[in-house]
Amino acid sequence: MNELLSALAAAVGAPHVLTDPESMAPHLTDWRGRYTGTALAVVKPAGTAEVAAVVRACAAADVAMVPQGGNTGLCGGATPLPDGQTVVINLSRMSRIRAVDPANNALIAEAGCTLAAVQQEAASVDRLFPLSLASEGSCEIGGNLSTNAGGVHVLRYGNMRELVLGVEVVLPDGRVWDGLRALRKDNTGYDLKQLFIGAEGTLGIVTAAALKLFPRMRSRATAWVAIADPAAAVTLLARLRNAGGDRVTAFEIVGRPALDLVLKHLPGARSPLADPGAWAVLVELMDASADAPLGEMLEQALAEAMDEGLVLDAAVASSLAQAETLWALRENVSEAQRLEGVSIKHDISVPLSRIPEFLERADAALLTVWPDARIVAFGHIGDGNLHYNLSKPNAQENTHFIARTEEVNRLVHDVVDQLGGSISAEHGLGQLKRVEVRRYKSEVELELMRAIKECIDPRGLMNPGKVL
Amino acid sequence: MNELLSALAAAVGAPHVLTDPESMAPHLTDWRGRYTGTALAVVKPAGTAEVAAVVRACAAADVAMVPQGGNTGLCGGATPLPDGQTVVINLSRMSRIRAVDPANNALIAEAGCTLAAVQQEAASVDRLFPLSLASEGSCEIGGNLSTNAGGVHVLRYGNMRELVLGVEVVLPDGRVWDGLRALRKDNTGYDLKQLFIGAEGTLGIVTAAALKLFPRMRSRATAWVAIADPAAAVTLLARLRNAGGDRVTAFEIVGRPALDLVLKHLPGARSPLADPGAWAVLVELMDASADAPLGEMLEQALAEAMDEGLVLDAAVASSLAQAETLWALRENVSEAQRLEGVSIKHDISVPLSRIPEFLERADAALLTVWPDARIVAFGHIGDGNLHYNLSKPNAQENTHFIARTEEVNRLVHDVVDQLGGSISAEHGLGQLKRVEVRRYKSEVELELMRAIKECIDPRGLMNPGKVL
């Protein structure tokens, strides 16, 4: 053990090997405070060679490793287990943008760059890095990549996986694979980077990535739209994309109970519409052209939809400030929910066409058992992805309800499964869902996953107790 | 052997097991006629269960298999080796569209569907399946997926990999993995489908795929633009994307020698410009909106670029027919080259920003050794992908030149490698480049590739002698 600590200190410098409980603490608990682990040490390498040296030292000592970025994950994937037998390797000191190539629409960022830093770097060369999510100020690229992060622009730009051109990875034995090619087309064998994207650090440590940039968007139009039911949202999205194509960059749904929580807890929040309706969607159009008439396009499409009864009412933002006010209603749902109390959360996806059926069936199954459950449904409906959260208004009854989390999960996930969906759309498995997922994946798929793990990390040194 | 043939007949019906040389012949030679192999049989299953039964029969007899679709590949990946010890499994009878879900922007196609059939199915529900390439009438989805096909719309929509939501695969032991989820977001463990995309049939047989659909494009503008050099093309693309964003759906370059061959060999072809210049780009803008003023947008952008000297001259198509005439000049380069005689071909990519440097350095290296070599360069410059082909005008000298193919490849590929590029941008490795690639990949990467092959196909039954 002392030998390992000496080797780690030799690799990264003694000040970057944390072993006292106080300085380790922020790295041992996840952001939600749901998981707390212990560790032999938290190590903070400053470069790829240092990461490789750390991994070699751990492998030599037969000690497993937990890679960690901004520690903003929602499934405990970056939190060590309570056994205290692992070393946390935090990449936050690797925060250099190594290269920016606007003509190639690419940049190379180290794993510890925050998502916001990458967005800013792209903007500084008049380009867009489109990944956008609530924690963008503190989450880091290595974590975004390892969890295949989603967010509000997946509808147009895809998940993190689709934004990655190449990766640099330290393998479980300390070898470095330099796959940092910034190419749009490369068909020279197996696309190995795909293995590490979304693997939640169980196959190696991503130390840098070549990322895609896009044309910067210069026009924007935003609207808050009241609709009668989720089926109307599905139809409306098809209409908007038919007319506007990929100008539709965001399409989020907010159920009335979610909106009500925001109106209750967010200081100064008010409904954009006199009658907010049972459901609302937040629509955003963007265009690279500075003078694109997006407001007119959106108003016309919404007016037509209103004439047909598809839309009940709508407010189109007339300024950037108004647009931000609308976005705040969507972005504060999670926080409002937290202020309201504990809830049972789900991060599910189904084919978009089956979202209405999912809600009908899941609502019915739950309300049969718990007639007074409060269903807070919202999220990225354009991607078929809902955050479907449950609680009871009364605090004491809610405590009993929370104790039944597994039963609730089962009801919800069974419906998801029957509709060909996923029980973790964008958050990953981590510690939270690694057991649950076994219920819904075929034996063939689980065996393939285990075979890949065994193939790349035969000694099981990378992030034990996660995913598999 | 007789036992295997009986088992195959039992699996698919005797009429679908071909063993006589004449009926096997079309399946034993590649489209270019570069490779010819032999086989124990060519088997044509009609469904997933039949493919699984065929694979089980071959695995039981310890006989390797060669998956084959439309047999339009350019690297011999679907052609058996000359050893005659394999069974070709042709998927063309699996040509059913299993499901179309326009609200979810997805369809499920069997591996034997032609690309054109999938495009048409998408159009029939007012959607776009954007993959587009010269062989789209006869190439099949399983092959597109197994080679991660590219084509002319990668700039906007990505390669085949980015168009796939899910796959169904028969594994080397005959088990079926049903990964046909039609979800935009699914982070429940390793993304196994990525293993099979671009694996050229060396890890299993893709039998069906869930594919992404997009909004249909209703406006189009096309221009042929003369420029002085490739650097001007790189700058022009950045300008166009700045102004028009992702309306820029195609951006192809044609060097003067390539254009001259088309003008010589394509009946009725003529230059769109009085002075065609040293290089030309074919630009296409598209928009989902039916009344998007793309022509005006393109004309204005080109007029500004001409004022600055970036563009020498340009012709914007004023009708669909004119646009098709312009496209014919680009699409007939390969055919014109074939009519002219044999040439040494390369399918390379480098970061777009380094295309001018690639051409300078590769041209210089070649012309130093062979001053009279004719360099025919053209292709998907928007993706950093060029087809860079070489021949000598004099037939007899050309024969000697062709004999030096390996030396020529070496010069070109070394420059590609020095610029961080790929020696196979969109065609794959197949038989053609499986040895060459070893020179340019790191030992770590080759070992990872071999480890994956060993993990999924430990007995080496899938498409031997390809890729690895």
Residue B110's domain is classified under what CATH number? 3.30.465.10
Alpha-helical regions (H) of B313-442: 320-331, 333-340, 355-369, 395-402, 405-418
pLDDT in tens, B253-281: 999 999 999 999 999 999 999 999 999 99
Asked if residue B224 and residue B279 are part of one domain, the reply reads yes
Cβ neighbours of residue B266 under 8 Å, at least 6 residues apart?
Answer: B328, B329, B332, B335, B336
Q: Return the closest-CA partner of residue B157 out of B207, B215, B196.
A: B215
- In this structure, the answer to whether residues A426 and A357 fall within a common structural domain is yes
Asked if pLDDT for residue B436 goes beyond 80, the answer is yes
Q: Is B53 helix (H, G, I), strand (E, B) or coil?
A: helix
Q: Are B185 and B255 members of one domain?
A: no
Task: Please tell me the least confidently modeled range out of A182-186, B242-246, B372-376.
Answer: B242-246
Taking an 8 Å cut-off on Cβ atoms, the answer to whether A186 and B353 are in contact is: no
Instruction: Assign B213 a pLDDT band (cuts: 50, 70, 90).
Output: very high
Cα separations (Å) of B315 from A22, A177, B258, B299?
Answer: 69, 47, 18, 9
Quick check: B223 and B283 in contact, CB under 8 A? yes
**Residue B153's beta-bridge partner residues?**
none
pLDDT of A368 > 80? The answer is yes
CB pairs < 8 Å spanning A and B = 278
Say whether B190 and A198 touch across the interface (CB within 8 A): yes
The verdict on residue B458 lying in a domain is no
Q: What is the pLDDT, as a whole number, of residue B214?
A: 97
Q: Which long-range contacts (CB under 8 A, 24 or more apart) does A367-375 make?
A: A369/A407, A369/A411, A370/A401, A370/A408, A372/A397, A373/A401, A374/A257, A375/A255, A375/A257
- In the predicted structure, residue B149 carries a pLDDT above the cut 80: yes
Residues of A in contact with B126 (CB under 8 A): 242
- Name the 3-class secondary structure at A47: coil
Could you tell me the pLDDT band of residue A32, with boundaries at 50, 70 and 90? Answer: confident
Residues B101 and B190 in one domain: yes
Q: Do residue B353 and residue A103 have CB atoms under 8 angstroms apart?
A: yes
**Residues A206, A286 share a domain:** no
| Test the A interface: residue of B100, B160, B176, B188 with most A CBs within 10 Å | B188
Mean pLDDT score of chain B: 97
> Is it the case that residue A59 has pLDDT exceeding 80?
yes
Tokens in use for A3? 């030998």
Label residue B71 left, alpha or beta by phi (over 0 means left) and psi (-120 to 50 means alpha).
left
Are A162 and B158 in contact (CB < 8 Å)? yes
Q: Does A316 lie in the same domain as A280?
A: yes
Mean pLDDT of B184-208: 98
A234 and B103 within 8 Å at the Cβ level: the answer is: yes
Q: Cβ–Cβ of B246/A288 closer than 8 Å? A: yes
- What's B200's DSSP letter? T
Q: Tell me, yes or no, whether A120 lies in a domain.
A: yes
The DSSP secondary-structure symbol of A318 reads S
| Tens-digit pLDDT profile for residues B32-78 | 899 999 999 999 999 999 999 999 999 999 999 999 999 999 999 99
Query: Chain A partners of B182 at a C-beta cutoff of 8 Å?
Result: 351, 420
Q: Is residue A378 part of a domain?
A: yes
User: What CA dihedral angle connects B325, B330, B332 and B336, to 10 degrees?
Assistant: 120
Res. B1: pLDDT tops 80:
no
Would the pLDDT of A434 be above 90? yes
pLDDT of amino acid B32: 86
Closest CA–CA distance from residue B226 to any residue of chain A (Å): 20
Whether residue A172 sits in one domain with residue A149: yes
**Could you give the ipTM of this predicted complex?**
0.97
Q: What is the pLDDT of residues A113-148, one digit of tens each?
A: 999 999 999 999 999 999 999 899 999 999 999 999
Q: Across the interface, which of B288, B429, B451 has its CB nearest the CB of A189?
A: B429
Rounded-to-integer distance, Cα B158 and Cα B70, Å: 22
CA–CA separation, A225 and A281 (whole Å): 5
Contacts of A157 (CB under 8 A, 6+ apart): A130, A131, A163, A214, A249
Query: Is A346 in the same domain as A325?
Result: no
User: Within a domain: residue B442?
Assistant: no
Q: Could you identify the residue written with the tokens 């290595």?
A: A142
Contact assignment for B449 to A190 by CB distance below 8 Å: yes
Percent of chain A, pLDDT > 70? 100
Q: What is the pLDDT of residues A161-179, one digit of tens each?
A: 999 999 999 999 999 999 9
Is the domain of B382 the same as that of B329? no
| Nearest residue to A454 via CA among B458, B350, B383, B123 | B458
Tens digit of pLDDT for each residue in B295-350?
999 999 999 999 999 999 999 999 999 999 999 999 999 999 999 999 999 999 99
CA dist., res. A241 & res. B448, Å (int) = 41
* CATH number of residue B241's parent domain: 3.30.70.2190
Chain B residue with the nearest C-alpha to that of A385: B185
Whole-prediction pTM? 0.97
Average pLDDT, chain A: 97
* List of E strands, A256-301: 279-287
Final residue of a domain: which of A189, A215, A241?
A215
DSSP sequence for B260-327: HHHHHHSTT---SSSS--SEEEEEEEEESSTT--HHHHHHHHHHHHHHTTS-SEEEE-SSHHHHHHHH
Of A334, A363, A393, the residue that ends a domain is A334
CA distance B133 to chain A (A): 15
- Chosen domain end from A292, A319, A334: A334
pLDDT > 80? residue A1: no
Q: Say how many C-beta atoms besides its own lie within 10 A of residue B23's C-beta.
A: 10
Q: Name the residue of chain A whose CA is nearest to B426's CA.
A: A187
Residue A3 covered by a domain: no
How many domains are there within chain A? 3
The residue of chain A nearest to residue B350, with distances taken between CA atoms, is A183
The tokens for A123 are 């903007």
Q: Is residue A64 part of a domain?
A: no
The rounded distance, in Å, linking the Cα atoms of B14 and B106 is 35
If asked whether residues A194 and A108 sit together in one domain, one would say yes
Query: Domain for residue A376, yes or no?
Result: yes
- Asked if B200 and B178 sit in the same domain, the reply is yes
Residue A53 within any structural domain of the chain: no
Angle, in degrees to the nearest 10, between helices B320-331 and B333-340? 40
- Cβ separation A187–B422 shorter than 8 A: yes
Give the structural domain span for B405.
341-433
What is the arithmetic mean of pLDDT over B96-110? 98
Q: Is A183–B349 a contact, with Cβ atoms under 8 angstroms apart?
A: yes
Residue A211 pLDDT > 90: yes
Question: Do B161 and B110 share a structural domain?
Answer: yes
Of A126, A287, A385, the CB nearest to B185: A385
- CB contact under 8 Å between A444 and B175, yes or no, is yes
